[in-house]
Structure 1
Amino acid sequence: MTQVLDSPREEVLKLYGNRLRLRVCGLYCEDDRLLMVRHRGIGPTDTFWCPPGGGAQFGETAPEALVREFAEETGLDIEAGELLFVNEFMQPPLHAMELFFSVQVTGGTLRQGIDPEMSLEGQIIQDVRLMAFDEIKSYPPEEVHALFRQCQTLDDVFRLRGYLPQP
């Protein structure tokens, strides 16, 4: 009997759907480009670009979770900087409180990483790269994180503070 594997979207919903999740996200800029991760299985077009990050685990501080997530997703070693803002990600059945930090790279090599919670066949990370702000803004709004709807420049991203209102 052959086992039917879940699609990436089904795996995302099974792991994260219908529950509130705490996520940590890092904003890293190099040469006027922001580090971004492309996921599948999220959003209406199955393409979703956002800064690196992921769920904090029980007993793990937010900065510790961010260091772990960056290593897993991007291959980079980082130090968490200032907490900049909080975003409430709501695309039912997904709901997450996201803490955005500035980060500094301290080592490692940029590469496309993995999401250890996902099966090998169900990996959702499709690309990891530094992107110019114009490139980020060239994607349809539903294919990039909502924070970019509130920004006209890369500098605006790093000026966001407090709780971001829902678009």
Structure 2
Amino acid sequence: MDKEVARIYGNKVRVRACGVCWQDDRLLMVNHASLTPTDFWAPPGGGVEFGQSIEEALKQEFVEETGLNITPLEFLFGCEYIEKPLHSIELFYAVKAYSGALKTGHDPEVQIIKDVRFLSAEEIGMIPDQELHGIFRLIDLPADLKSLRGFFRI
């Protein structure tokens, strides 16, 4: 993990809003640098600021990271990640993109976004487990995210 990531996010609980966005049978994924020594693929999302609603944060993160404007549809599931110095609570929503052009955006905090694209189940299956968000260890196929409910420790 990058020292700057640990400095900014370490030793505190961070609440994150994340979106599960589909185009046909392809899931929108963001590849972040600096979170792991290699790639780290995850659905778009980011931190919720004090006074900001989850839905506002979700919309903001999608525009910043992907260039897409979205509508949050429904809450799906939550998860908790604890690996010192990081501790995050992530709230995942089904979202629908309604405008914008897909692009590799930016993260204004610290993470470098290397790539943004809709990936098929086969493409996601070819990514090593350690390079995927922990939610993918809870399911057999990416489409299972549509019906995943509950709160999970990853």
- For normalisation by structure 2, the TM-score amounts to 0.94
Contact 2:31 2:40 in 1 (8 A): yes
Task: Find the counterpart in structure 2 of residue 107 from structure 1.
Answer: 99
Q: 1:55-107, CA deviations, whole angstroms, 9 ceiling, x for partnerless residues?
A: 00111100010000000000000011101000112232111000000001111
Task: Find the counterpart in structure 2 of residue 159 from structure 1.
Answer: 147
Q: C-alpha root-mean-square deviation of aligned residues, in Å?
A: 1.3
| 2:6 maps to 1:20 | no
**Percent same amino acid among aligned pairs?**
46
Residue 148 of structure 1: which of 119, 130, 136 is its match? 136
Q: 1:134-167, CA deviations, whole angstroms, 9 ceiling, x for partnerless residues?
A: 211222211001111121123211111010243x
Residue 90 of structure 1: which of 67, 70, 82 is its match? 82
* Structure 1 unaligned residues grouped into runs of 5+: 1-7
Task: Find the counterpart in structure 1 of residue 120 from structure 2.
Answer: 132
| 2:60 maps to 1:68 | yes
Letter in 2 for 1:42: L
Q: How many residues align?
A: 154
Letter in 2 for 1:109: A
* SS across alignment from 1:164: strand
| 2:30 maps to 1:42 | no
* Structure 2 unaligned residues grouped into runs of 5+: none
Instruction: Name which one, 1 or 2, has greater alpha-carbon Rg.
Output: 1
- For normalisation by structure 1, the TM-score amounts to 0.87
Q: Cα gap change, 1:92/1:134 in structure 2, threshold over 3 Å: closer, same or farther? A: farther
Contact 2:81 2:153 in 1 (8 A): no
Q: Where in structure 1 do 4 or more consecutive aligned residues deviate above 6 Å?
A: none
Higher strand share: 2
